[in-house]
Structures are given as C-alpha cells and as structure tokens.
Amino acid sequence: MSNPQPLAIRLRALETYPVLGQLLLGFNNYVKNLPAWQVGASSIFVAALIIRLRQIIFHEIPIYQRTKSWAFKVARMFPFVQNQINKELSKTRKDMEKSMLKPPTNWSTNETLPASRMEHSDLVAVLQKLHDHEGVSDRCAAGKVSGTVYAGGTGFKEYTDMLNTATSLFAWTNPLHPSVFPAVRQMESEVIAMTCNIFNGSSTSCGVVTAGGTESICMALKAYRDYARDVRGITKPNLVAPRTAHPAFDKGCDYFGISLRKIQENPTTRAADLKAMRAACDSNTIALVGSCPQYPHGAVDPIEELGKLAKEYGCGMHVDCCLGSFLVPYMRKAGFEFPNFDFSVRGVTSISCDTHKYGMSPKGTSVLMYSNPKYRQAQYSVFPDWPGGIYGTPGIAGSRPGAK
C-alpha cells in the first residue's frame, strides 16, 4: 500500500497556492493527450529553460552589474559615444599628467644615463632639491598629508632620524634568505607575534609581513582560494564583500580568478548590510569581508554578526584593519565605545593591519594575521622541482627590503 503522506502534502500545497494548482492542472490537461515523445521533449525543454533562468538569476555576477556592463558595451559601439569617451579620457590623462608631473623650477629631466659620473655631493644636492620641492616635507611633518603619511607633529624630525638610522643598518638585507639574515627573520617574527597579541590572537595565531595592505588582502584571498579548493573542493570560488570594501579586494579577485559579489551597504549607517550579504552566500563562498573601519565613510562593519555568518557557511572571515591599524585596538582603553572586531570574535579567521600607518614603520609594510596556521600554509608558493633548488615565498615578492 502506498504512503498517503506525500499525497497529503501535495494537496495542502495546492490548497495553500491555488494559482500553482491551476497551473499544474492546466499543464496536466495539456500534456495528457500528447504523444509520449512530445511529452518527453516538452519536459526536456522546460527543464533546460529552468536551468538557464536559474543561471541568469543566480549568476556569480549580479544581474544588474551584468546588465550595466552589457549596456555600456553596446553604447560604445556607436561612434558618437566612443568619441565622447575618448575625449573625456584624453582630458583626464592630461589633468593627471599636469598634477603628477611637476618638476621643480629650472629642473631638466633626464631620460638617458649621463655621459660622466656625478659627484656624491652633486647627487645629494639633486636629491635635496627634489625633497624640498613644494614643501611636501614640511606638510608631512605638520601632519597635513591626510591619507598619505600617518605621522607628524612633535618629535617628527627625531623620529625620522631614528628611522633613517635603522634603515641604513639593514639597507642590504633580504628576507628571502633568512639563513643569511637571521636578525631580519627574528625581527619579523617579533613584529608578527606582537601584532597578533594586540589583536587578541590565540596560541595558534600566526602571520606574515607583506609590502602593504593591498598585498595583505591579496595574499589572504589567495590563501582562502587554495584552502577552499584543497579542503572543500571548490573550483568556482566567490567572495562576498560590501561595496565599501577596499579596491584591493577587486584586485585580488581579478588576480586569482575569484568572483567578487559586491553588496550594497546600509544606506543609513554605511556599514555592511548583513541580510544582503547572507543572501549572496552559497556553497562556493570562500570568505566574507568586513572593514574596521572602511575607507569611504569611516564606518565599522558588523564584524560579530559577519563572523557568525562565516561560521554558518563554513567559510573564512577577513577583517580589513589596514586603515584602523594600531588605533582601533586601543579605542576602548581610550574611553570610547567600540564593537568587537578582532580574533576575540568567533568566525574571524584573518586580519590585515598596516604597520606603515599608525605603526610608524616606513612605507610599505603590513602584517597579515591568521587565526590558524592552516590558512597561512595555503598562502605559500613553493616550487620544489626548480633546477636551481627549492624555491618558496610567503607572498608575491621574492627579494624584498629587510630594512622595512
């Protein structure tokens, strides 16, 4: 005897959705008199149509972005539109050249090597002239180069002198060869350990030193991509991030073949819209992104809630603290109310923090931290079968300046 439960469920569904019931009955009346081959062909056609519609609706790139991209491509086919675009590009290029290429007064540019060597004193004089150009150094010292130099004020000169001395001591070192320069390796490991401690890392927390926030973000994406591929079998990875996340995430996704799902931020708070980010997640999501704070508005994303969402989907959770760096960990000690955002939040698996901002190190350095070595392991690039020997690096660069 057949089980009556599925039939009862179907009947209740038809009662709940009468329009669906009418459609099903109409379809049944239509196909019951058709030959078997037509029923089969119709079923295949409908199934293929449904699959295609699903691909269009749930494509890795949101449909509105694809529509906008398609419309732009079509518009560029018209000569008038293309001419206007070329005109604007030319104007923008000239404006950039005018603003960026401003040599000092009476300065002659050199495009070939000089015929004779330059005396040391003459070279220093040239460098001094470039250094003093337009008073940039004075503005840096006064702390008036916002978003570019994160130091200034009292003691700036003394600090700069100390920095120059430290840099000169390690000018010829290269962390690519740790056995040759063990002191550089030791200093890097101490910087990583101290930074992990500041961000409430556990005994398993680890990290790497990179050439800046962009490399930290890119390397985190590379690690999540490779980890998801090797452990979860994901071959079509996607990253879910607010629209306000730093363009380094766009760059990293472009480099490593990751689909970036950009989500509109909350229009009132400008923080990440948790509901929208949840809707964008699926089984191919390798990580979520939150900023503390983000660059455009200075808003802090809801890291605790995003951490819970990452745990729910079994994916990574990266917190971009590049801008906040060594300010945000001390906000509470300074008497401000501040949300949890670091490794104390369950679900947070990586954090990027720029030491060349409020860590007072020279450009460009950053620390990328992980909650567990398994993610850092996925970041490495190792080539054991190279004729020159085993070659491996933790980041993009091979040789890099140990002075930083």
Q: What is the pLDDT of residue 1?
A: 47
pLDDT confidence of residue 102: 62
Q: What is the 3-state secondary structure (H, E, C) of the chain?
A: CCCCHHHHHHHHHHHHCHHHHHHHHHHHHHHCCCCHHHHHHHHHHHHHHHHHHHHHHCCCCCHHHHHHHHHHHHHHCCHHHHHHHHHHHHHHHHHHHHHHCCCCCCCCCCCCCCCCCCCHHHHHHHHHHHHHHHHHHHHHHCCCCCCCCCCCCCCHHHHHHHHHHHHHHCCCCCCCCCCCCHHHHHHHHHHHHHHHHHCCCCCCCEEEEECCHHHHHHHHHHHHHHHHHHHHCCCCCEEEEECCCCCHHHHHHHHHCCEEEEECCCCCCCCCCHHHHHHHCCCCEEEEEEECCCCCCCCCCCHHHHHHHHHHHCCEEEEECCCCCCCHHHCCCCCCCCCCCCCCCCCCCEEEECCCCCCCCCCCCEEEEECCHHHHHHHCEEECCCCCCCEEECCCCCCCCCCC
The pLDDT score that the predictor gives to residue 24 is 62
CATH hierarchy code of domain 182-393: 3.40.640.10
Which pLDDT score, from 0 to 100, does residue 291 have?
97
Q: Mean pLDDT of residues grouped by 10 in the chain (404 residues)?
A: 51 56 67 73 76 61 68 80 85 75 66 88 86 75 78 82 90 90 93 96 95 96 97 96 96 96 93 94 96 95 97 97 94 94 97 92 92 96 90 89 83
Task: Write down the domain spans for the chain.
Answer: 182-393
Q: Are 201 and 190 in contact (CB under 8 A)?
A: no
**Taking the model in full, what pTM does it have?**
0.77
pLDDT of residue 212: 93
For residues 301 and 319, give the distance between their C-alpha atoms in angstroms, rounded to a whole number.
9
